[in-house]
Chains A and B, each alone.
Chain A
Amino acid sequence: MQEDKAIIKALQEETASSLPPDFGERAMFCIYKEAEKKKKQNFFFMLGSLSVVSLGLIAMAAYLLKKYFSFDFAFHFQLPSLKLNSVLQYSFSIYIATLILVLVFLDHIFRTFWNKRKYGRNVEQ
């Protein structure tokens, strides 16, 4: 099939037209507009995600406070007296949280190192 010289030549001889010289400029203008739109969309998505996560954290905090702490609202206009049932029962949670923080920090270090090696520059710059 690739030896069909007649078809190849006929296609070559078909009226050739090219793009106007300012095509690239006009197309880039549209691309910049699209990039702006994308940026705005990402911003609103981030804002939405942050709101959802924040609300979730607040709800979780309220639930935990209600479940593990007791408030005394009996006396009006007085600061609530906070009673921690047991500090020891949270030690495991503190250990896990510390471990996560260490792992996140190590991930950041290795990721930066990997990106530097792969792209020859710091992608965060």
Chain B
Amino acid sequence: MRRYMDNQDEFHIIQRICEGETNLFSLFLSRYSDAVYSLIVRIASSKEDAEELTQDVFIKAFKKLNTFQGKSSFLTWLYRIAYNTAISATRKTRQDFSYIDETMIDKVPDENVDMLFEKDENENLLNKLQVVLKRLSAEEKMLIALYYSKGEKIHDIAGIMDLSSDNVKIKLYRVRKKLYFLIKKND
């Protein structure tokens, strides 16, 4: 109910901004800039780039504000702009990520992946995970961050990444297997 009320409040504020009360946009900046930045910084090449991209996201959001229909939360809508902005930026710069034979990933059993990642007490595993997370592609990093870090629902991630819900699920399973494969390969 609270979230619903928040969305209603935000929709009201958006309408007032569209009518000319530009200063109200600072509410969205203070509320969401850290969330957007923490998503972008995972794939940007430097903190400065991430900061610049975050600013671009908010400027784009301001320009397109009249197209926000309130079908999703304002933050999910911002994540969609952030995803597109960050992915386009990383396409311009060369990103190094590991090439892995897809058939090798398919051979990884689901049970092994579940067992490896279900506990968070193993410091050694956490260190290895942090290393292999950096070797994922920009799209994969975004997917992992949106699902595990931001707690976005599959349906919302599908909207953000312009994919179907089934496709998001498949991609998530593949990324988990890829992480497992990379950890085992490094052992």
| Chain A residues in the interface with B (C-beta under 8 A) | 1, 3-14, 16-20, 23-24, 26-28, 30-32, 34-35, 38, 119, 123
Secondary structure class of chain B's binding surface, majority of residues = helix
Chain B residue numbers with a CB within 8 Å of A35 are 22, 62
Query: Which of B23, B41, B176 is the one whose CB lies under 8 Å from A17?
Result: B41
A6-B119, A10-B129 known; A123-B19 Cβ under 8 A:
yes
24 contacts across the A-B interface (CB closer than 8 A)? A1-B147, A1-B173, A3-B117, A4-B148, A5-B117, A7-B129, A8-B148, A9-B120, A10-B129, A10-B133, A11-B133, A14-B130, A18-B34, A23-B29, A23-B51, A24-B29, A24-B33, A27-B58, A28-B26, A28-B29, A30-B59, A31-B25, A32-B22, A38-B63
Q: Does B30 contact A (CB under 8 A)?
A: yes
- Annotate B145-167 by CB proximity to A: 1 below 8 A, 0 otherwise: 10111000000000000000000
Q: Does B118 contact A (CB under 8 A)?
A: yes
Query: Which of A6, A23, A38 is the one whose CB lies under 8 Å from B129?
Result: A6
B166: min CB distance to chain A, Å: 14
The number of residue pairs between A and B whose CB atoms lie closer than 8 Å in the complex comes to 98
A10-B133, A30-B55, A119-B12 known; A24-B176 Cβ under 8 A:
no
Chain B residue numbers with a CB within 8 Å of A20 are 51
Contact call B25/A19, Cβ cutoff below 8 A? no
Closest to B19 in A: A123
Interface residues of B in 104-131 (CB under 8 A from A): 114, 116-120, 122, 125-126, 129-130
A7-B176, A8-B120, A10-B133 known; A18-B37 Cβ under 8 A:
yes
Chain A residue numbers with a CB within 8 Å of B51 are 19-20, 23
Q: Does B15 contact A (CB under 8 A)?
A: yes
**Tally of contact residues, B, Cβ under 8 A:** 44
| Chain B residues in the interface with A (C-beta under 8 A) | 12, 15, 19, 22-23, 25-26, 29-30, 33-34, 37-38, 41-42, 47, 51, 54-55, 58-59, 62-63, 114, 116-120, 122, 125-126, 129-130, 133, 144-145, 147-149, 172-173, 176, 179
A4 to B147, CA, bound (A): 11
Cβ-closest 3 pairs across A and B: A10-B129, A5-B120, A4-B117
